[in-house]
Amino acid sequence: MMGYGRSKLLLGSEVPVANIPTLRRTVPPSPKPGTRVDAALDAAAARAGAVHAAVAEAAERELEHLRAVNARLRHELAALQLREAEALRLADRDGLTGLYNRRRMFEFLNAAIAEAGQQGQHVGLLFVDLNGFKAVNDVYGHAAGDRILTTVATRMSARVRTGDIVCRYGGDEFVVVLPNLPDAGCLMPIAEAVAERIALPYWIKGQEQHLSAAVGEAVYPRDGEDAESLLHRADENMYKEKNDSAQPPTDAGTLSRLCRRRNDKP
């Protein structure tokens, strides 16, 4: 190469001016913009952009999937909560009338007795049985009987105090728990009001029907100191009332008189 080695050229040795054109033809030109280096960089950037776009698209799909899963789980949770609430309601309530059931009645009664024992108060209990219900149910059918029971539940609930608990004990029998009574005499007016309300007419298929109620009373601690004893005494008094009349009474005055219970212990 014109007598000059590569080392001399690189070290900047003096080169005769006459040999410069030859050197220019010998040394390769520097790369220009748009040549292979730029092309490689452009290709790398394109690949990186494609990878980024693919990752972003995959992430968006995953996010949409997670959103859909979250929405489904929320829906399932809401459905489970509704079913749980309904199960709890059915565990505490009578399915027909919506009143508290027998199990819940015992819980209320036991709690009321415990509180009354601490505060020196009374707890009242009414055991209510419908007179004439079976005949109406047999003649007009179970659907009509169900409507009567629902109406009775509504009427009884409207005649008790706030805080009193009306329960369907079973069939055509109802129980009312009356906590925090100042004295035993407070129970009689409530029993009379309940009986009078039940004695109002019922309309079934355009026909006026009359029912009555036998109401048995019991008071804590006079008639018993636990729930079972009170319920037993109220049940006994209810059957005594049924036996006091050969025919079921239908007027409110007779019902009121029959509701007056004996105050003496057996």
125 and 81, same structural domain?
Answer: no
Separation of first and last alpha carbons in the chain: 140
Residue 103 has pLDDT above 80, yes or no: yes
pLDDT in tens, 150-183: 999 999 999 999 999 999 999 999 999 999 998 8
- Residue 25, pLDDT score: 57
Question: Is 180 in contact with 198 (CB distance < 8 Å)?
Answer: no
- Residue 255, pLDDT score: 46
Closest C-alpha to 97, from 150, 173, 158, 157: 150
Question: Is 201 in contact with 209 (CB distance < 8 Å)?
Answer: yes
- Residue 256, pLDDT score: 46
How confident is residue 250, by pLDDT bands cut at 50, 70 and 90? Answer: very low
How confident is residue 262, by pLDDT bands cut at 50, 70 and 90? Answer: very low
Residues that are catalytic? 172
Question: Is 180 in contact with 162 (CB distance < 8 Å)?
Answer: no
- CATH number of the domain that 235 lies in? 3.30.70.270
Q: What is the pTM of this model?
A: 0.63
Q: What six digits make up the tokens of 192?
A: 């009379």
Under 8 Å CB-to-CB from 230, ≥6 apart: which residues? 109, 113, 123, 125, 218, 219, 220, 223, 224
- Residue 36, pLDDT score: 73
197 and 253, same structural domain?
Answer: yes
110 and 218, same structural domain?
Answer: yes
Residue after which a domain boundary falls, among 40, 66, 92: 92
pLDDT in tens, 128-154: 999 999 999 999 999 999 999 999 999
pLDDT in tens, 18-37: 555 565 555 555 555 557 77
Domain of 211 in residue numbering reads as 102-258
Let me know the angle formed at the C-alpha of 82 by 77 and 86, rounded to the nearest 5 degrees.
145
- Residue 122, pLDDT score: 95
Question: Is 188 in contact with 261 (CB distance < 8 Å)?
Answer: yes
Query: What is the SS3 assignment for 202?
Result: strand
Question: Average of pLDDT values for 234-259?
Answer: 65
239 and 137, same structural domain?
Answer: yes
Question: The dihedral of CA 5, 11, 17, 21: what is its sign?
Answer: positive
Question: Is 146 in contact with 204 (CB distance < 8 Å)?
Answer: no
Query: What domain count does the chain have?
Result: 2
Q: Which of 55-59, 123-127, 247-251 has the highest mean pLDDT?
A: 123-127
pLDDT in tens, 84-93: 776 666 678 9
Question: Is 136 in contact with 144 (CB distance < 8 Å)?
Answer: yes
- Residue 263, pLDDT score: 41
191 and 162, same structural domain?
Answer: yes
**DSSP state for residue 19 in the 8-state scheme:** G
How confident is residue 254, by pLDDT bands cut at 50, 70 and 90? Answer: very low
6 within a domain of the structure (yes/no): no
Element (H, E) at 215: strand 212-220
254 and 123, same structural domain?
Answer: yes
Q: Report the mean per-residue pLDDT for the chain.
A: 82
Give the number of other Cβ atoms within 10 Å of residue 85's Cβ.
10
Question: Average of pLDDT values for 53-68?
Answer: 86
Question: Is 208 in contact with 140 (CB distance < 8 Å)?
Answer: no
144 and 84, same structural domain?
Answer: no
Higher local confidence (pLDDT), 237 or 18 = 237
71 within a domain of the structure (yes/no): yes
Residue 11 has pLDDT above 80, yes or no: no
Which range, of 148-152, 196-200, 213-217, 239-243, averages the lowest pLDDT? 239-243
Exposure class string for 11-41: b at 16+ Cβ within 10 A, else e: eeeeeeeeeeeeeeeeeeeeeeeeeeeeeee
- Residue 32, pLDDT score: 58
117 within a domain of the structure (yes/no): yes
251 within a domain of the structure (yes/no): yes
- The Cα–Cα gap between 194 and 169 comes to 16
Q: What six digits make up the tokens of 158?
A: 């409207």
- The Cα–Cα gap between 197 and 153 comes to 11
The length of the chain is: 266
